[in-house]
Structure 1
Amino acid sequence: MLSQQDLIEIISKGENPYIEFKEEKIRPNDLAGEIVSFANMEGGTIIIGVSDDGIIKGVFAEDIEEKIMNICRNNCIPNIIPIYKEININGLKVVVLTIPKGINKPYYTVDNKYYIRVGTTKRIASREELMRLFQASGAVHFDISSVEGTTKKDINMDLIRDYFLKYNMFDLYEETEEAVDRILVNADILKEGINTKECTVGGLLIFGKKVEDKLPQSGISFAHFKGNDITEELIDKKQIVGNLPDIVEQSLVIIKNNIKTPSTIVGALREEKETYPSVVLREALVNAVVHRNYSIIGSKIRILMFSDRIEFHSPGKLPNTVTIDKMKIGVSYSRNPFLVKYMENLRYIDQLGRGIPMIIKNMKDLGAREPELREIGEEFVLTIYESD
């Protein structure tokens, strides 16, 4: 419960990415923009009756709550339901409006402006930021968008032929070129462009040649540190590129080669102890490559290996309705349905939603500390601790 003293302390510290001051006479659309900007990000608090420099000026309108709720209902689309509270400070009424993190992103104002919160201000979302908001809502899937400047020559037709032979029981090479193009478009591997057919993001990621040339954000950066901190001596460093099946297999080999495997002598035999089970590592890798946000251009998946743990850093926050607690009990989400479908058919995914519970159970059964799931900035991080 926010007290008067708590509010005075908050105001004294000034505005920040989660706190905004507004005076009573703010225009409805301006207030709607502030509300929308918080809902599109991580949520925040608007304190009404306080100037930008932290001077408490108060709110005097008797119907202020009704006015604000009308703005939330009529000027914000979809409508937003904030937590409204009035607090008296030295005889002046101050309104505290708490905006939750939105579950129906993207939100916009009645004049069709999509705002996000950046630092202590709101601004209109860029094209890339807007794409991420639509992805979070499930309305747009980046993995079936086209990659500009690509053609059918950028995908490995032998891999695609093998895929269709195995799962669709026909030979792509027996089809006419026109029929092949139609099949690839229907399979979302190619997409109709303005002048030609272009590869989709998913088509390149699963079947592409030199994927990293067209999608530099693809691939994995691996680093192994001697101790338990990123400042420790670097033992090994690798850049892992290729299509997703190759990346998973290469990464698994690299991680295993960097794991010290303890052993004990039982009778005349040496028995090695598996500190990180292969099934856990494989699942963590598949989760990272399938569920990361590929619209974030400047970031790769990062695997950081320490003496006591392995961290899998995957670019992109969790989608709208997904929480870490839900993931732990097997609630699934599909940011990239194309990738999920094809990796499932290629037997890299057993059943959507089972991965995280399986990782947690396997590591706990080995006596290891429970794996951690966290959102840090624009990354989702899975940490697996070494078993004793």
Structure 2
Amino acid sequence: MNLHDMLRRPEGKTLEFKRDLSSPQGFLRAVVAFANTAGGTVLIGVEDRTGHVGGVDQPLDLEGRAANLISDAIQPPLLPDLEILPFRNKHVLAVRVHPGSVRPHFIAKAGLEAGTYVRVGSTNRRADPQLITELRRFATGESYDEHALPAVDSEALDFRAASESFAAVRELRRRDLENLRLLAPYQGRLVPTIGGMLLFGRDRLDHFPDAWIQAGRFGGTSKAVILDQTRLEMPPLQAVEEAVSFVKKHLLHGATIGPVRRTDHWNLPPEAVREAVINAVVHADYSQRGAPIRIAIFDDRVEVENPGLLPFGLTLEALPLGVSKVRNRVLGRVFHELGLVEQWGSGVPRMIRACRDAGLPAPVWEEIGFFVRVTLRTEKVGPALVDGRDSSILRVLERGDGHRTREIAQEVGLSTRSTRTRLARLVERGLVREVGTSPNDPKRTYVRSLEDFRGFTKKR
């Protein structure tokens, strides 16, 4: 462990400071929370408010005491790594906790319901019964939306609505409902799954009354003045489109009149808004009650918020790297088949690139309470790096493993010569890479470069 690197960081989802072990309960709560969430390190001998290193007395004795506390007080058992780290003429005890494989872990004396904690930001929060159930599901590899609804008949799914949604992709047959896990076998009959009911249930809101999107436009930068609002209670596939349309309606925009067509410009890239809404719908925790997905539009930003912590094992710092864990496999599978989700983990990097290319700050993700919020800022921090045509080329290159010039030209509606000129400029700026045996290789292809993305791989 590199103590100097850890001391440069503030307390957060995977790091906590403790001055000493005079309050063992606080230490145990942190260990349990790290084990249940994404792992983490407790540094004993560091002031939690200032980060100043006071060190510990008799570090070997303290190491033994910490190990015994964890062994005696936490169930199921944990095996953290303990290491004494020197700092100038002092010592710090580092307790590194790995994500548990048999969640939920809890403080045995308090019991499962009162002693289970999760990490939210830099705090340890007691898990409610729904969260404890989710910890159990995660430990067994289950997905909430794959669970069967035994009290509901298979006809509760609207097969016609499902078929219409898939019409542009393929013909949907009734047996496909089971392959997609929209239906599941239960005691010799097929019944809807939670995911199937959420997506295509005839009476979906009767079963999941909070599975809708609340969207609002506020005056200024707070929620004091409501200018417009809407409730989007239609199924998720349609709700995504309506939500994006609502946001675009309220975003400031202008237009460039070209020789052939008019091009509209919004102060947020529509693709970034779309990805934010899709991520919220696919990753929401639908087991929570009283918590719809919320979209708030302000003068300087758009916030998209969904119920549920990040999936266990995932951190905010990992999101920009394309690391992804799917909370709802049924929703994710259907959205993927319909082309709304392209490649797992690619949505967040695409959002960051879209904002960067428009001269905007990178999106910011936060865990607030038991919600995840992404904030898209509309105030520019620099000039736009690409125009509308270049942006279209870059979107084409997001798909697949490489495209030739002629293919790109056909998709974006430009001549091959004009496309080649733009590609050369994008290559020069490091936004696109050529793949071939030489610059003159007639079979060379183009791919989106990851070099321009490095600056956003760490939380700022």
Taking structure 2 as the reference length, the TM-score comes to 0.61
1:208 partnered with 2:206:
no
User: 8 Å contact 1:36–1:76 — kept in the other structure?
Assistant: no
1:130 partnered with 2:132:
yes
Q: Cα deviation per residue 1:212-254 (whole Å; 9 max; x = unaligned)?
A: 22111211110110111122x1111111112111111111221
Give the counterpart letter for 2:292 in structure 1: K
Which residue in the other structure is 1:116 paired with? 116
Aligned pair in 2 of structure 1 residues 274, 68: CA closer, same or farther (>3 Å)?
closer
Which residue in the other structure is 1:36 paired with? 32
User: 8 Å contact 2:117–2:124 — kept in the other structure?
Assistant: yes
Q: Cα deviation per residue 1:275-303 (whole Å; 9 max; x = unaligned)?
A: 22222222111111011222222211110
Which residue in the other structure is 1:221 paired with? 214
Identity %: 24
Q: Distance in 1 between matches of 2:229 and 2:237?
A: 20
Cα shift at 1:359: 0.9
User: 8 Å contact 2:284–2:307 — kept in the other structure?
Assistant: yes
Q: Distance in 2 between matches of 1:270 and 1:32?
A: 61
User: 8 Å contact 1:137–1:319 — kept in the other structure?
Assistant: no
Cα shift at 1:331: 1.7
User: 8 Å contact 2:130–2:287 — kept in the other structure?
Assistant: yes
1:240 partnered with 2:232:
yes
Which residue in the other structure is 1:262 paired with? 254
User: 8 Å contact 2:163–2:171 — kept in the other structure?
Assistant: no
User: 8 Å contact 2:320–2:348 — kept in the other structure?
Assistant: yes
Which residue in the other structure is 2:76 paired with? 77
1:151 partnered with 2:156:
no
Aligned pair in 2 of structure 1 residues 225, 68: CA closer, same or farther (>3 Å)?
same
Which residue in the other structure is 1:12 paired with? none
* Secondary structure in 1 matching 2:103: coil
Higher mean alpha-carbon deviation, 129-138 vs 301-310, is at: 129-138
Higher mean alpha-carbon deviation, 99-108 vs 369-378, is at: 99-108
Give the counterpart letter for 1:77 in structure 2: P
Q: Distance in 1 between matches of 2:81 and 2:287?
A: 30
* Secondary structure in 2 matching 1:237: strand
Q: Distance in 2 between matches of 1:213 and 1:128?
A: 19
Aligned pair in 2 of structure 1 residues 227, 362: CA closer, same or farther (>3 Å)?
same
Superposition pairs for residues 276-295 of structure 1, below 5 Å? 276-295=268-287
Aligned pair in 2 of structure 1 residues 99, 268: CA closer, same or farther (>3 Å)?
closer
Q: Distance in 1 between matches of 2:368 and 2:102?
A: 20
* Secondary structure in 1 matching 2:288: coil
Which residue in the other structure is 1:140 paired with? 142
Cα shift at 1:67: 5.2
Q: Distance in 1 between matches of 2:226 and 2:125?
A: 40
User: 8 Å contact 2:232–2:242 — kept in the other structure?
Assistant: yes
Superposition pairs for residues 350-369 of structure 1, below 5 Å? 350-369=342-361
Q: Distance in 2 between matches of 1:117 and 1:21?
A: 21
Which residue in the other structure is 1:11 paired with? none
Q: Distance in 1 between matches of 2:260 and 2:118?
A: 64
RCO higher in 1 or 2 (8 Å CA, sep ≥ 6)? 1
Give the counterpart letter for 2:332 in structure 1: V
Q: Distance in 1 between matches of 2:124 and 2:302?
A: 37
Q: Distance in 1 between matches of 2:211 and 2:17?
A: 32
Superposition pairs for residues 268-347 of structure 1, below 5 Å? 272-347=264-339
Q: Distance in 2 between matches of 1:239 and 1:117?
A: 34
Aligned pair in 2 of structure 1 residues 208, 228: CA closer, same or farther (>3 Å)?
same
Aligned pair in 2 of structure 1 residues 284, 63: CA closer, same or farther (>3 Å)?
closer
Which residue in the other structure is 2:64 paired with? 66
Q: Distance in 2 between matches of 1:63 and 1:369?
A: 48
Cα shift at 1:110: 10
User: 8 Å contact 1:316–1:380 — kept in the other structure?
Assistant: yes
Unpaired runs of at least 5, structure 1: 3-16, 48-58, 87-94, 173-179
Aligned pair in 2 of structure 1 residues 100, 208: CA closer, same or farther (>3 Å)?
same
Cα shift at 1:161: 4.0
User: 8 Å contact 1:263–1:272 — kept in the other structure?
Assistant: yes
Cα shift at 1:105: 6.4
Higher mean alpha-carbon deviation, 262-271 vs 284-293, is at: 262-271
Give the counterpart letter for 1:66 in structure 2: G
User: 8 Å contact 2:292–2:307 — kept in the other structure?
Assistant: yes
* Secondary structure in 1 matching 2:116: strand
Give the counterpart letter for 2:32 in structure 1: V
Q: Cα deviation per residue 1:55-90 (whole Å; 9 max; x = unaligned)?
A: xxxx99x9664354255357543524165779xxxx
* Secondary structure in 2 matching 1:273: strand
Give the counterpart letter for 1:40 in structure 2: N
Cα shift at 1:209: 2.1
Cα shift at 1:273: 2.4
* Secondary structure in 1 matching 2:229: strand
Give the counterpart letter for 1:385 in structure 2: R
Unpaired runs of at least 5, structure 2: 4-15, 45-56, 86-91, 381-460
Higher mean alpha-carbon deviation, 341-350 vs 208-217, is at: 208-217
Q: Distance in 2 between matches of 1:216 and 1:65?
A: 50
Q: Distance in 2 between matches of 1:187 and 1:270?
A: 41
Aligned pair in 2 of structure 1 residues 96, 216: CA closer, same or farther (>3 Å)?
farther
Aligned pair in 2 of structure 1 residues 240, 40: CA closer, same or farther (>3 Å)?
same
